[in-house]
């Protein structure tokens, strides 16, 4: 496994691999790697010959300086995990390498970046799309993979890749969960014991919404009210958002749900009262399948068929 720190060196490596006819994959990460990240490495390996994992805590996508400074960093453990997962290259650039002095160019996707996380974290997606563009130009991959836990990010990056004509296949990796259903996140390690227990309301709320839809409930507001009530059971948490959205355009779902719909949740958990842990914001989502129940009266009277079947 090679460790590369400069864009020029990574481009040269990728150019040589491309010239040899090999297909290159990129797994962008901010480090603090867990089983979810490693599942992305294994999945994208099935679609490529060479895998690059980038590790870079991107300062421009943090709206809170404390969140950036407190983001977990463990480079030695990350490198060992990449080696075990079978990465061919780990790209570990400095901030100055990707944002040289005087840099003033940004990449921004309008529309899809506006709701959900975009509404409460101004500038977040501009930072994401800008850094991913830089990584694409450095790694020159044929395919890249991002976790479906960050559903809006995945949608934004797919749009950016299409609009800018990168010619890169974008894959989504399934969310990996802990034994109690909480989605794996690098931020989970910052939760205090009490906050960690309360965080379980997130997967419980997702399960509850799924059960309601399976039972035939299709009223958007009823489902959201139930989800909000469940999230409210976490006494030391604040709801950033809990919304039902169209999974393609991310527009607000209709009052009656008649097609697959995205339930997206963001919850801010406080540090424990005894000072253990830190304030942590967690996101999660689930694609919900609807089941519209139609009454016999709505279908109209049954008319006997008297013709000939041909």
Radius of gyration of the chain measured on its C-alpha atoms: 22
222: tokens are 């009823």
From the list 214, 215, 245, 239, the residue with the least C-alpha distance to 227 is: 239
Residues 247-260: what's their mean pLDDT? 96
Give all domains of the chain, ordered by start, each with its CATH number. Answer: 2-173 (3.40.50.620), 186-288 (3.30.1300.10)
pLDDT score for 305: 35
CB 53 within 8 A of CB 139: no
Average pLDDT score, the chain: 93
Burial class (CB in 10 A: 0-12, 13-18, 19+), 236: middle
Q: Which CB contacts under 8 angstroms, 24+ apart, belong to 116-120? A: 116/152, 116/241, 116/243, 116/245, 116/250, 116/264, 116/266, 117/152, 117/153, 117/266, 117/283, 118/152, 119/241, 120/240, 120/241, 120/266
- Enzyme catalytic residues: 37
Residue-wise pLDDT tens digits, 262-301: 999 999 999 999 999 999 999 999 999 876 434 334 334 4
pLDDT score for 292: 45
Edge-to-edge strand order for the sheet containing 50-55? Answer: 2-4, 89-91, 50-55, 24-29, 143-147, 169-173
Residue-wise pLDDT tens digits, 96-153: 999 999 999 999 999 999 999 999 999 999 999 999 999 999 999 999 999 999 999 9
Alpha carbon distances (Å) from 117 to 49, 186, 212: 34, 17, 25
> Residue 298 contacts by C-beta under 8 Å, 6 or more apart in sequence?
none
CB 242 within 8 A of CB 223: no
CA separation for the pair 155, 125 (Å, rounded): 11
pLDDT score for 291: 64
> Residue 107 contacts by C-beta under 8 Å, 6 or more apart in sequence?
126, 129, 130, 133, 160, 164
Q: How confident is the model at residue 221 (pLDDT cuts 50, 70, 90)?
A: very high
Q: How far does Cα 45 stand from its chain's mean position?
A: 19
Q: How far does Cα 31 stand from its chain's mean position?
A: 15
CB 129 within 8 A of CB 164: no
Share of the chain above pLDDT 70, in %: 94
57: tokens are 């805590």
Q: What is the pTM of this model?
A: 0.91
CA separation for the pair 242, 251 (Å, rounded): 14
The dihedrals phi and psi of 225, each to the nearest 5 degrees, come to -65, -40
């Amino acid at each position: 496994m090679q460790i590369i720190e400069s864009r020029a060196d990574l481009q040269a490596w990728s150019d040589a691999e491309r010239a040899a006819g090999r297909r290159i994959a990129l797994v962008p990460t901010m480090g603090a790697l867990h089983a979810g990240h490693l599942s992305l490495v294994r999945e994208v390996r099935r679609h490529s010959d060479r895998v690059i994992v980038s590790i870079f805590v991107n300062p421009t996508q943090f709206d809170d300086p404390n969140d950036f400074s407190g983001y977990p960093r463990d480079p030695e453990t990350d490198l060992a995990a990449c080696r075990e997962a079978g990465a061919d290259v780990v790209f570990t650039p400095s901030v100055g390498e990707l944002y040289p002095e005087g840099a003033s160019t940004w990449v921004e996707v309008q529309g899809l970046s506006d709701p959900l996380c975009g509404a409460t974290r101004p500038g977040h997606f501009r930072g994401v799309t800008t850094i991913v563009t830089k990584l694409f130009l450095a790694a020159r991959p044929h395919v890249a993979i991002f976790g479906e836990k960050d559903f809006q990010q995945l949608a934004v990056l797919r749009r950016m890749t299409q609009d800018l004509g990168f010619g890169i296949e974008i894959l989504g990796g399934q969310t990996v969960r802990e034994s109690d259903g909480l989605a794996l996140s690098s931020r989970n390690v910052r939760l205090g014991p009490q906050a960690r227990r309360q965080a379980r309301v997130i997967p419980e709320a997702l399960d509850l919404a799924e059960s309601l839809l399976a039972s035939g409930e299709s009223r958007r507001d009823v489902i959201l009210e139930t989800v909000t009530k469940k999230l409210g059971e976490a006494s030391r948490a604040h709801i950033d958002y809990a919304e039902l959205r169209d999974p393609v355009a991310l527009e607000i779902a209709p009052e009656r749900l008649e097609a697959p719909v995205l339930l997206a949740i963001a919850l801010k958990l406080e540090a424990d009262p005894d000072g253990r842990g830190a304030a942590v914001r967690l996101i999660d989502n689930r694609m919900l399948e609807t089941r519209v129940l139609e009454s016999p009266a709505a279908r109209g009277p049954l008319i006997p068929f008297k013709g000939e079947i041909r």
